[in-house]
Structure 1
């Protein structure tokens, strides 16, 4: 396999990182001034991987076209194979998608962190299904999955950053990324959803308060909601007041049980609109931004550099990817030149080479896709079962294609690991 040329920034990166703790840091991560440091006070540059598709499916990762939030994907599966087989499929999906082999491979490649996109419904019931209004029913599945992943991260000395990717009710109009059901009130339209969000973070913080390999709490992924009647995804909102208010409420709940962990905030408009940010209300905050399909220049990240300078608070590229290896190299070089950690997206995807692992579907999956995408006949139950369960089995790392050139683009040879 041809290895891409090493980024021209590599010599500068190597020099800069001689002063930064590589992959094997120690103790709780925390914000100190505008840097992230470990328990010994040494600067840590996060190099992470986002586990998109594991706890929360997004249709495009499965090669589905159009609007396909997970609840709709699940409905389509139920229509073909029934509810019991669908539940078995999702259990197998979660079991095969992320294993110890995946964590070991990331550690060996030089990654020192994992960003875990969580779906709230693996941890608690939707508000309209709560048997007792105002109470929270806790479900074991989500917590057990985090515990299992955390054990592997601890063994391979990788920080695990918890990311609420699908908040109760859904946090935006981009329904695919948060599994929002538009027939029900959103996170912003029902106070019960916000109460559940706060309660979930308190529960997670209470459970992991003394765990140093939990790297931080990424409170809400990519809010995209206008509170001011402007552009619907919130990119033009000027104050974003409800977002900052909810973040403060979550912070208070976390700090009741956990003083150890970093709290990571994301702006409106898919994480990047920080207008109206009132300034840090906690001494262990990090500001996150996301970066897709824009130039890898200082100008492109200037607003976030300005936030860091103004408030003396760390910034973190919480999500990027979905582009060419050349773009990847340029983006990482830009981040590391400015001492900004990053988390890439995603770890695995069906028939894609822009991620670490390419998932190869079974032959029956093509018939399923053609049907779902509107160009083919309805497959039989037997064909659908082979397609879906075969796909789930093929999620295992040893059955995937490992894209070494992607890893090389993100962590070039010669860079301290």
Structure 2
């Protein structure tokens, strides 16, 4: 049976049900501190991640606890053990309820503590961190966003803008994750790993120990930085986009030539693209909203699926809705262009136009191709581009189709 991250084996005593287990934890932290006490590359000790326990309340994650007495007692005991061997390192503590419920934890018991909180799937306004800001002010204690992530690039940009503008340091989880778009790096999944997952989830024929070990060691090897796929759009959102709303090319697009639909600019919603679904606020709204409905290639609101059409880069823009748009930075030879648009559509009749410097092209209709995997090319003519860099916005007046690429060719009949 596969367990969620915060679950435990209910057939055995947990940490809070066993004094012996708590003593083991205290002894372990003393041993760790003894080993690392003189190492400057250890930034801090984080005593316990997301305790999530209902000591007296009804919420299974401890979100309605008012005292958190056992949690405080254990963290005090661990701190005392650490300080017996290490008086140098900073110690992070985390509240109950995903690290955020600090009721009953104060007053603090050490002069080199910091508070860690975790932030996921909620609004990125000051109200969302007001409680932690209040603790920092009242108790003169550093605060740190020790975990965040698992959302769209827009959410990443907004949360980091929020915490950095309030002088709060941060860490993201995870940096690497198997077959994902919402991390700095994606780890390649192998078919054998799916066999293990199926067994853990559904039972059935048990893989041999040799098979399991070989599979997991291959996955571990895939986690090496030289083997992961770095996600440039995520990196751009977390660092550059926090500083500016300017867009920049995802890839160098040169025309005459082909522009792949999924190579739209790096930038936020409303600047590099416009999509109706671009962020997940499920902690507040109760709706688990997917921003990239295809969950492929990029972590923006633009919906991307794998593509099997000829001459594709392996991906296509899909789930296009009325009024959405995508923008490309195009390095062009000056001229008037015909643009071959490669698209498919099951039933819907789509419409789009191109806009450059506020000037709109004529609108072109994309008739249904009788299948999402049946591709067709139509020509949009008379697109004037200046020499050098152009911002080309493709506006979807009416959606319902899939896009593979745009092929720009100079119209030699036009001067």
> Please, what TM-score do these two structures have when normalized by structure 2?
0.54
CA distance in 1, matches of 2:194, 2:29: 40
Equivalent residue for 2:77? 249
Change (3 A) 1:385 1:264: closer
Cα deviation 1:115-137 (Å, max 9, x = unaligned): xxxxxxxxxxxxxxxxxxxxxxx
Verify the 8 A CA contact 1:361 1:387 in the aligned structure 2. Answer: no
Verify the 8 A CA contact 1:347 1:356 in the aligned structure 2. Answer: yes
- Deviation, 1:177, is 2.8
Verify the 8 A CA contact 1:319 1:342 in the aligned structure 2. Answer: yes
CA distance in 1, matches of 2:56, 2:82: 28
CA distance in 2, matches of 1:230, 1:195: 27
Q: Would you say how many aligned residue pairs link Structure 1 and Structure 2?
A: 244
CA distance in 2, matches of 1:198, 1:387: 34
Change (3 A) 1:209 1:377: closer
Verify the 8 A CA contact 1:228 1:237 in the aligned structure 2. Answer: yes
* Structure 2, gaps ≥5 residues long: 244-415
Equivalent residue for 2:140? 312
- Deviation, 1:399, is 2.0
- Deviation, 1:320, is 0.5
Equivalent residue for 1:402? 230
Equivalent residue for 2:13? 185
Equivalent residue for 2:154? 326
CA distance in 2, matches of 1:379, 1:253: 42
- Deviation, 1:367, is 4.3
Verify the 8 A CA contact 1:235 1:269 in the aligned structure 2. Answer: yes
Change (3 A) 1:371 1:191: closer
Equivalent residue for 2:247? none
CA distance in 2, matches of 1:204, 1:388: 27
Cα deviation 1:214-237 (Å, max 9, x = unaligned): 111100000011111421221101
Equivalent residue for 2:2? 68
Equivalent residue for 2:110? 282
- Deviation, 1:369, is 3.7
Task: Tell me the SS of whatever aligns to 1:307.
Answer: helix
- Deviation, 1:368, is 4.3
CA distance in 2, matches of 1:251, 1:258: 10
Task: Tell me the SS of whatever aligns to 1:344.
Answer: coil
Equivalent residue for 2:100? 272
Task: Tell me the SS of whatever aligns to 1:252.
Answer: helix
Q: Which has the larger radius of gyration?
A: 2
- The structure richer in strand per residue is 2
CA distance in 2, matches of 1:186, 1:290: 23
> Please, what TM-score do these two structures have when normalized by structure 1?
0.54
Equivalent residue for 2:330? none
- Deviation, 1:209, is 1.2
- The structure richer in helix per residue is 1
Cα deviation 1:71-101 (Å, max 9, x = unaligned): xxxxxxxxxxxxxxxxxxxxxxxxxxxxxxx
Change (3 A) 1:414 1:287: closer
Task: Tell me the SS of whatever aligns to 1:286.
Answer: strand
> Once superposed, what is the RMSD of the aligned Cα atoms?
2.5
Equivalent residue for 2:365? none
Verify the 8 A CA contact 2:2 2:201 in the aligned structure 1. Answer: no
Verify the 8 A CA contact 2:95 2:117 in the aligned structure 1. Answer: yes
Would you say 1:347 and 2:190 are equivalent positions?
no
Change (3 A) 1:189 1:354: same
Change (3 A) 1:253 1:378: closer
CA distance in 2, matches of 1:233, 1:182: 15
Task: Tell me the SS of whatever aligns to 1:398.
Answer: coil
Would you say 1:240 and 2:68 are equivalent positions?
yes
Would you say 1:357 and 2:357 are equivalent positions?
no
Would you say 1:203 and 2:31 are equivalent positions?
yes
Task: Tell me the SS of whatever aligns to 2:171.
Answer: strand
Verify the 8 A CA contact 1:218 1:265 in the aligned structure 2. Answer: yes
* Structure with more relative contact order (C-alpha pairs < 8 Å, separation 6 or more): 1
Equivalent residue for 1:302? 130
- Deviation, 1:349, is 1.1
Change (3 A) 1:310 1:400: same
- Deviation, 1:336, is 0.3
